[in-house]
Amino acid sequence: MKILHLLSQTHLTGAEVYAAVLCRLQTAAGHSCLIVSDTLNVQANARYIPMPIDNRRWLQRVRNIIALVRLCRSEKIDVIHAHSRAASWVANVVRRFVDVDFVSTVHGRQHVHFTSQRGNVYGEHIIVVCDHLAEHLRKELNIIDAKISVVRNGVG
């Protein structure tokens, strides 16, 4: 299986470490991984492709979507695994143009504001790292149309 890990990292965070460890485990299991992010600060058994996913300007988002659609087609990506809200937003649009599965991992509390409560950008399958985040997504962000799975300390 070909897995694209999508992050909006401008500095080292736990989400990046999580994705890198997950890539090491997935490649050891015979899968192929790519990481697309603004930066990559840790070693990962994956090809890294820099892309300004954190840049939320509309023109840049359109460029990112086009580049990711092309990447998914050329690399025959099976799954996009998004690790941030910005990455999930972009992946949610990309999957409408290519036949690819989509999963998000929510690593921390998300900002609650009008637009975050209006729609689910995380997709139908969401992984959270604790029960508190599952409750946060359901009650504060009104995400009731998705399967939310709690995976505590899923990699290590």
pLDDT given for residue 61 in this prediction:
96
* Cβ–Cβ under 8 Å, residues 64 and 50: no
The tally of CA atoms less than 13 A away on the side-chain side of residue 88 is 19
| pLDDT tens per residue across span 41-86 | 998 889 999 999 999 899 999 999 999 999 999 999 999 999 988 9
- If one looks up domain 2-150 in CATH, what number appears? 3.40.50.2000
- Indicate the pTM of the whole model: 0.90
